[in-house]
Amino acid sequence: MPTTAPSLTSPQSVMEAYLAELRARLRTLPSEQVTDIVEEIRSHIRDTAGAGGAMTEERVRAALGRLGPASALAGSYVTDNLLARAERHRMPWTILHAMFHWALLSVKGVFALVVCLVGYAFGASFVVAALVKPFNPKAGLWMIDGDTYSLALGLSKVPPQGHEVLGAWLIPIGIALGGGTIVATTFFAQWRIRRFRESRRLRAAA
Amino acid sequence: MAIQTIAPPESADKWEVQLRKGCLELAILAALWSDRLYGLEIMRRLAEESGLVVPEGTVYPLLSRLKSEGLLSSEWVEADTGHPRKYYRLTAAGRGRLVEMARFWQNFSASLDDLVAPVRKGVGKEAR
């Protein structure tokens, strides 16, 4: 290692400031991976700014310039990592987490996030209603005033003008419809994520 | 004509950029075919052997993704320079994927060559 002691305005402190920002912006990744990335970039800066001599502040700044802003560098790691995980895993939570990050990047991401939120909420409410039904007969799909459907868990009062539509059928129908919607939403999300990652991959090297 | 060679039209320029980007993954995997290399070496090899100059800030996240997809593995190696370097090598899956990609690439570029050959000949004649 170079034996120069770091002073306040040393090339090292410029590099460390960059790496600290990078580390901070990578915080959503597992800490092991963050250290691995930061050390790799540190090694890269030392190679490019210190090749054939000591690092000078000017050379460090030039090296950092070629790497681009720490925020942009961290952004490509974080988004890609989250979306890659979401593509492999089927847990709604993982998918929504990744979608939320994507929504911060593009309008298409916002659209996909909204569709997924609606899909999961719709699916989950049917599944929950079906699961509650055996314990609470008031839970069910209620028809109110002859034209409005309302899914109820039977926790509040029974609507006076309504009647329950499905009866015990709520259990199989609710599980099938709710579960199906959740699965379909997941497929939709993964399809959108795949498409987005493909387009991003092309843009990544611009 | 000299005028034509100064700057290609913007659309051709964009097309070139897209093409280079599309090939980047193949190029990185291919650079690692026989050696383990660290990030900067990979970039240097791409620049020297294929004229593919890639922004530094895009190679590292791409390497990280290829690793998370199981195509590459990495290890830290202490170097004479005093700081360790992160070396990448192909995994068995990466090797298999690269062979597939290389095969596709060869077929694809050969058939495009055939298609483009008359165009090149035609341009040669016009120039004369």
Interchain CB contacts (distance < 8 Å): A and B: 80
CA dist., res. A55 & res. A96, Å (int) = 44
> Tokens 């996030």 map to which residue?
A113
Strand partners, A151: A141
Quick check: A67 and B56 CB within 8 A? yes
> Given a cut of 90, is residue A103 above it in pLDDT?
no
DSSP A169: G
Q: What is the pLDDT of residues A13-72, one digit of tens each?
A: 999 999 999 999 998 888 999 999 999 999 999 999 987 778 888 999 999 999 999 999
B21 in Cβ contact with A204 (< 8 Å): yes
B80 touches chain A (CB under 8 A): no
**Which residue is associated with the tokens 């290692």?**
A1
Pairwise pLDDT comparison (B24 vs A196), residue with the higher score: B24
Cβ-defined contact of A66 to B55 (cutoff 8 Å): yes
- All residues at 6 or more sequence positions from B59 whose CB lies less than 8 Å from its CB, including other chains: B28, B39, B42, B43
Domains and CATH numbers, chain B: 2-127 (1.10.10.10)
CA of A147 vs chain B CAs: smallest distance (Å): 51
Answer yes or no: are the C-beta atoms of A132 and A168 closer than 8 Å: no
CA of residue B123 relative to chain centroid, distance: 28
The pLDDT-based confidence of B11 (bands split at 50, 70, 90) is low
ipTM of the complex in this document? 0.80
* Spatial strand order in the sheet of B37-38: B37-38, B85-90, B72-77
Q: Residue B93: is its pLDDT beyond 90?
A: yes
Whether residue B55 and residue A201 make contact (CB cut-off 8 A), yes or no, is no
pLDDT attached to residue A42: 95
Tell if the pTM clears 0.80, that is, is over it. Answer: no
Cβ distance B40 to A47 less than 8 Å, yes or no, reads yes
Res A158 pLDDT > 70: no
Distance (Å, rounded) from C-alpha B128 to C-alpha B71? 50
Helices (H), B7-91: 10-31, 39-50, 56-68
Q: What is the pLDDT of residue A164?
A: 77
Digit-coded pLDDT (tens) for B19-70: 877 788 999 999 999 999 999 999 999 999 888 888 898 899 999 989 988 8
Decide which of A41 and A9 is more confident.
A41
Residue A92, min C-alpha distance to chain B (Å): 21
